[in-house]
Amino acid sequence: MQTLLLCACFCVLVLVLPAPYCGAPTAIPGAQKTALEPQHDDGDVKLATGYLERHYNLNNEALMGRGKRSLESSFTSELQDMQMFFGLNATGVLDPETLGVMRVPRCGVPDVEDYSLDQGTRWRKSVITYNIGQYTRDLPRSTVDSLINSALSVWAQASGLTFVRLHTQTADIMVEFVTREHGDLFPFDGPRGTLAHAFGPGIGMGGDTHFDDDEHWTAGGKGFNLYLVAAHEFGHALGLKHSRNPESLMYPTYHHSRQVSLLSIEDVTNINTLYGPSISLPQHFSGYAWSPQYNPWLSGALFPQRMQNKCSPDLSFDAVSVLGDGTFFFRERYLWIKHNEHAGIKEGPITNFMPKIETNIDAAFWVPRRSTAYLIHESMFWTVKGSRVRGKPRALSHFGFPVWVQDVDAAVHIAKTSRTLFFIHDIYWSYNENRRVMDNGYPKFISEDFPGLNTTINAAIHKEGFIFFFVDAEVYKYDFTQRQVVGVEKANTWLGC
């Protein structure tokens, strides 16, 4: 039976498995000392032997009866393969640099290229299901859900694949956090060492992805970042092998510091070879398609920020705006999206939804008749039209502001009057969207035209005939015709809290 071995940190290899190949390390007899150099102690020998058995097909037990010379020759040959894979001097000698690589936590799948009879293993469909069975003890379940979702989206963005979560044991990819012996013949080894492994596409255990719960899983830079490891392992679950390129996500060893774009050109080329290129990339949030198959996470960020507490009583927003069928809530570089008709909140770093925007958003507004949103950061703004961010950011002076205006606190469009109001400290402007010029007589004082609002406004949105002003953790419901505040609520209630 062919299966794909998962990796400790990032690997999945297709292997013919007549028997477990991840046996306990066994020290090579004294005859190896010539190849290993006399200065190495038994611990180094044991480490090297186990490493080569797991990742380079060294069959120590089968060679035991063939004599000392066969053992040494095989060890040297496999050690050279390992050194060549990692770009080391292929001396066949267990030097400190080689031992250093062997000690780096990694994926549990072999690195050798002759591990499979079928070099094109893939799923024969474009919609792949997944489920999370056992959770880790290190992170809240909601955080694990989001990180796994995000890791799958790395591949969805680059290919023609869609991932749908099921809550049954029949899902294509079963995600489990387990320890030691866990029923698949490939036991984990405790803290560090092998981090995770995954099986390649296929029936039964095909696609299943296991994480060693003896590791310390995190959503940040400490411990082992679940997003990075999961993205690597799901590459294996889709049929990809290990790469020799250190810039590739499919490189076997763990690195928490990665480039901004998680996938290298090699990774994208390889996934496209198996499943074809993405045909929906320009529409990745068109209409914000809130179907069960929708997955808004993209791979623009290094890894998702730690999930923010949307129900915190002190929650406030920098900007709030309708965009298409959703309401977008911006805070620093984080974003929540609430569909206007359906339950559920999508959230994550802004770059995961809009890769071009790598800053916080200070103000935002939506002009429905143009199906266009404007997102403002300091003295610049982006245009979001149709399905994506259009062009480069432009200067705020485009709206007719004097040169001394270098930022905006809040903005809101009133469709009935075709006016957009810009709030800056204690004054505001009125912009005529029909003529695309500022109205005469502005700026004016906010306190004069909006009695009851005597403070800086953080965000604003127009809904159901009212303007809702977000001020710190509170929201003021303002009746413009009566010129008074008619209600006050907490900002977090807008996220369902």
How confident is the model over 251-291, as pLDDT tens digits? 999 987 654 568 988 999 899 999 988 754 333 333 333 22
Residues shown for the chain = 497
- Rounded CA separation 404/402 (Å): 6
3-state helix, strand, coil in the chain (%, to 5): 25, 25, 50
pLDDT confidence bin for 341, thresholds 50/70/90: low
Strand partners, 377: 380
pLDDT score, position 40: 59
For residue 432, pLDDT over 90 is answered with yes
Phi/psi zone of residue 449: left (φ > 0), alpha (ψ -120 to 50 degrees), beta?
alpha
Please state which of the ranges 40-54, 210-224, 318-332, 424-438 shows the lowest mean pLDDT: 40-54
Q: For the chain, which residues make up each domain, given as ranges?
A: 23-102, 127-283, 314-495
Q: Are 27 and 129 in contact (CB under 8 A)?
A: no
- Rounded CA separation 94/43 (Å): 12
- Average pLDDT of every residue of the chain: 80
For residue 18, pLDDT over 60 is answered with no
- Rounded CA separation 284/276 (Å): 16
pLDDT score, position 386: 59
Mean pLDDT of 320-333: 88
Mean pLDDT of 187-195: 91
For residue 73, pLDDT over 90 is answered with no
- The pair of three-digit structure tokens given for residue 481, joined into one six-digit string: 């015709």
Mean pLDDT of 81-94: 91
Three-state SS at 489: strand
Which among 72, 215, 233, 347 is annotated as catalytic?
233
How confident is the model over 99-126, as pLDDT tens digits? 999 999 999 888 875 333 333 589 999 9
pLDDT score, position 34: 42
Mean pLDDT of 145-151: 93
For residue 296, pLDDT over 80 is answered with no
How confident is the model over 235-255, as pLDDT tens digits? 999 999 999 999 899 999 998
Topology adopted by domain 314-495: Hemopexin (2.110.10)
Environment class of 369 (CB within 10 Å of its CB; exposed 0-12, middle 13-18, buried 19+) = exposed
Residue scoring higher pLDDT (331 or 24): 331
- Rounded CA separation 417/41 (Å): 82
pTM above 0.85, yes or no: no
Three-state SS at 305: coil
- Rounded CA separation 306/316 (Å): 17
Q: How many CB atoms lie within 10 A of CB 387?
A: 18
Please state which of the ranges 333-347, 395-409, 422-436 shows the lowest mean pLDDT: 333-347
pLDDT score, position 226: 95
- Rounded CA separation 328/471 (Å): 17
- Rounded CA separation 275/94 (Å): 40
pLDDT confidence bin for 69, thresholds 50/70/90: low
Distance, CA of 373 to chain centre = 25
Is 233 an annotated catalytic residue?
yes
For residue 70, pLDDT over 50 is answered with yes
Topology adopted by domain 127-283: Collagenase (Catalytic Domain) (3.40.390)
- Rounded CA separation 390/372 (Å): 10
Three-state SS at 464: coil
Distances (CA, A) of 250 to 146, 403, 437: 21, 49, 52
Place of tokens 């299901």: 129
Q: Which helix (H) or strand (E) holds 459?
A: strand 459-463
For residue 368, pLDDT over 60 is answered with yes
Q: Which CATH number fits domain 23-102: 2.70.170.10, 3.50.30.30, 1.10.101.10, 3.30.43.10?
A: 1.10.101.10
pLDDT score, position 468: 95
Q: Which residues, in sequence order, are CB contacts of 407 under 8 Å at separation 6+? A: 362, 376, 378, 379, 396, 424
What percent of the chain stands above pLDDT 90?
46
- Rounded CA separation 193/20 (Å): 18
